[in-house]
């Protein structure tokens, strides 16, 4: 359908029931029970261009994203597992957070400790010697309350809600969190995060999907995929992935993706940062041309073989790009055995260990304020 005709149809009717929005639908089905007997639901949003996003109430985990290649052939472009049991046993206990909604603090906090308003807080050391992704009982293991939203126009959405009590995971303040997942007819999967607190606290929320635009079983994982990152600086870290005092220029380093290049190109370069992390597992400091909170294009990924493209826009100041370095052939997922460099994450977020780095953009939230953050993953194809 031509664009003009498409929009004419789109605006002709605003009274369609949810799920009938010009081919865009949201369906749900049971996805089994957790090991402790709680029922979990799987939701699938689909648009009329063959793009679908599936997620579950357990951990807000994105289990599958299907998009067409340049010939219209669909494939699942995120790493995932067929069953809830796989997620509970492989994804979480293995510490790899496949598709997860991560919090209260995505990324690491040094030695599991930070001080706020003169009080020191102690967190789980689940990634010794640091705390990672909210500790042992991350938001990625909680059952989120999912509500369908009544949309008008060309978008389907669901809001995922979680109440995180004061002291949860060792953090101060009761948080009320709402995360909206939307799929548009423009082939965008949008995530809008919001949260309020009743006490001063810190937070950092993200999505931990591993993308592989080639789909399951691609022979080289993401190595041949071409990445662009709008960042002049990145955040070097020590051996335990905790940032040093200052960010560093990407110029002349393997971290320079300001001109698109294959992920493999500099991956094996002799570089201490790549050695420490066994690949890319770093925060890129986004350039933010239109202000610190602007929703701007941060990264792109292109798979020359399938033609699939991914654009990631975010309001966040940074993105942790992780080339699945610790996925080492020990995970059998939807796409067969997952190996190192099988997927790449774009964890849009504030910088690692910000509560201990006053020079980094703040992650503090106070009563009366509303935390807001948005990220868009936009899918497409390049024909030539
Ligand atoms: C971290 C990695 C970690 C991965 C899975 C990423 O956000 O930066 O170091 O292995 O999450 O836990």
Render pLDDT for 90-128 as a digit per residue (tens, 0 to 9). Answer: 766 556 899 999 999 999 999 999 999 999 999 999 999
Report the pLDDT averaged over residues 307-312. 98
Ligand 1 contacts CB of residue 97 (under 6 A): yes
Report the pLDDT averaged over residues 244-267. 97
Report the pLDDT averaged over residues 207-234. 96
Q: Say yes or no to pLDDT of 25 above 80.
A: yes
- Residue 208 appears among annotated catalytic residues: yes
Cis amide prior to 104 (ω within 30 degrees): yes
Q: Say yes or no to pLDDT of 31 above 50.
A: yes
What DSSP assignment string belongs to 92-146? ITTT--TTEEE-SB-SEEGGGEEEETTEEEE---SBTTBEETTGGG-GGGSBPEE
User: What is the pLDDT at residue 9?
Assistant: 29
What DSSP assignment string belongs to 131-159? EETTGGG-GGGSBPEEEEE---SSEEEEE
Stronger pLDDT, 13 or 360, i.e. the higher one: 360
User: What is the pLDDT at residue 94?
Assistant: 56
* pLDDT per position as a tens digit, 50-67: 999 999 999 999 999 999
Q: Say yes or no to pLDDT of 8 above 60.
A: no
Q: Say yes or no to pLDDT of 285 above 60.
A: yes
Ligand 1 pocket: which of 322, 330, 349 to mutate (most atoms <8 Å of CB)? 322
169-193 burial: b if 16+ Cβ within 10 Å, else e: bbbbbbbebbbbbbbbbebbbbbbb
Domains in the chain: ranges and CATH: 3-381 (2.70.98.10)
Ligand 1 pocket: which of 132, 140, 320, 330 to mutate (most atoms <8 Å of CB)? 132
Q: Of 66, 133, 208, 342, which one is the catalytic site residue?
A: 208
Report the pLDDT averaged over residues 155-174. 97
Q: Say yes or no to pLDDT of 10 above 80.
A: no
Per-residue pLDDT band at 5 (split at 50, 70, 90)? very low
User: What is the pLDDT at residue 280?
Assistant: 98
Report the pLDDT averaged over residues 20-32. 81
Q: Counting atoms of ligand 1 from 1, which one is nearest the CA of 102?
A: 7
Report the pLDDT averaged over residues 7-12. 28
Bridge partners of 249, per DSSP, are 233
* Cα 325 to ligand 1 centroid, rounded to whole Å: 9
Per-residue pLDDT band at 332 (split at 50, 70, 90)? confident
User: What is the pLDDT at residue 150?
Assistant: 73
Report the pLDDT averaged over residues 322-340. 86
Task: Tell me the C-alpha to C-alpha distance, in Å, between residue 88 and each of 19, 53, 70, 82, 248.
Answer: 30, 20, 35, 12, 37
User: What is the pLDDT at residue 282?
Assistant: 98
Q: Three-state DSSP class for 311?
A: strand
Per-residue pLDDT band at 7 (split at 50, 70, 90)? very low
Q: Say yes or no to pLDDT of 183 above 90.
A: yes
* Cα 148 to ligand 1 centroid, rounded to whole Å: 30
Per-residue pLDDT band at 89 (split at 50, 70, 90)? confident
Per-residue pLDDT band at 17 (split at 50, 70, 90)? very low
Q: How far apart are CA 65 and CA 349, in angstroms?
A: 21
User: What is the pLDDT at residue 92?
Assistant: 60
Report the pLDDT averaged over residues 252-272. 98
Biggest alpha carbon–alpha carbon distance for the chain: 61
Q: What is the mean pLDDT of the chain?
A: 92
Per-residue pLDDT band at 383 (split at 50, 70, 90)? confident
By percentage, how much of the chain surpasses pLDDT 90? 84
Ligand 1 pocket: which of 139, 141, 281, 348 to mutate (most atoms <8 Å of CB)? 281
Q: How far apart are CA 280 and CA 263, in angstroms?
A: 9
Q: Counting atoms of ligand 1 from 1, which one is nearest the CA of 281?
A: 8
Per-residue pLDDT band at 4 (split at 50, 70, 90)? very low
Q: Of 185, 311, 347, 357, which one is the catalytic site residue?
A: 347
Q: How far apart are CA 103 and CA 371, in angstroms?
A: 13
Cβ atoms within 10 A of the Cβ of 133, count?
Answer: 27
- Residue 289 appears among annotated catalytic residues: no
Place of tokens 């040093």: 244
């Amino acid at each position: 359908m031509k664009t003009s005709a498409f929009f004419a149809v789109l605006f002709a009717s605003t009274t369609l029931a949810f799920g009938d929005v010009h081919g865009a639908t949201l369906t749900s089905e049971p996805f089994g029970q957790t090991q402790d007997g709680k029922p979990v639901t799987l939701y699938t949003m689909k648009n009329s261009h063959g793009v679908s996003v599936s997620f579950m109430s357990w951990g807000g985990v994105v289990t599958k994203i299907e998009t067409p290649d340049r010939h219209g052939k669909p494939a699942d472009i995120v790493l995932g597992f067929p069953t809830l049991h796989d997620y509970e046993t492989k994804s979480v206990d293995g510490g790899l957070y496949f598709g997860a909604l991560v919090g209260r603090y995505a990324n690491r906090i040094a030695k599991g400790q930070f001080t706020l308003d003169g009080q020191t807080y102690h967190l789980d050391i689940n990634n010794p010697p640091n705390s990672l992704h909210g500790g042992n009982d991350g938001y990625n293991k909680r059952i989120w309350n999912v509500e369908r939203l009544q949309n008008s126009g060309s978008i389907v959405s669901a809001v995922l809600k979680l109440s995180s009590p004061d002291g949860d995971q060792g953090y101060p303040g009761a948080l009320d969190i709402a995360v909206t997942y939307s799929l548009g007819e423009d082939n965008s999967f949008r995530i809008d995060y919001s949260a309020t607190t009743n006490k001063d606290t810190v937070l950092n929320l993200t999505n931990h999907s591993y993308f592989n635009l080639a789909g399951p079983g691609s022979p080289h994982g993401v190595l041949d995929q071409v990445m662009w990152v709008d960042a002049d600086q990145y955040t070097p870290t020590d051996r335990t992935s905790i940032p040093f005092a200052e960010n560093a220029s990407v110029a002349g380093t393997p971290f320079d993706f300001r001109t698109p290049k294959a992920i493999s190109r500099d991956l094996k370069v002799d570089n201490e940062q790549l050695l420490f992390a066994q690949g890319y597992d770093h925060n890129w400091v986004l350039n933010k041309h239109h202000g610190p909170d602007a929703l701007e294009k941060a990264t792109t990924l292109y798979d020359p073989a399938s033609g699939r493209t991914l654009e990631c826009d975010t309001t966040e100041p940074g993105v942790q790009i992780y080339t699945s370095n610790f996925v080492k052939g020990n995970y059998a997922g939807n796409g067969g055995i997952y190996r190192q460099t099988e997927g790449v994450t774009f964890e849009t977020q504030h910088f690692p260990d910000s509560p201990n780095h006053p020079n980094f953009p703040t992650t503090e939230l106070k009563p009366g304020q509303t935390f807001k953050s948005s990220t868009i993953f936009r899918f497409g194809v390049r024909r030539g």
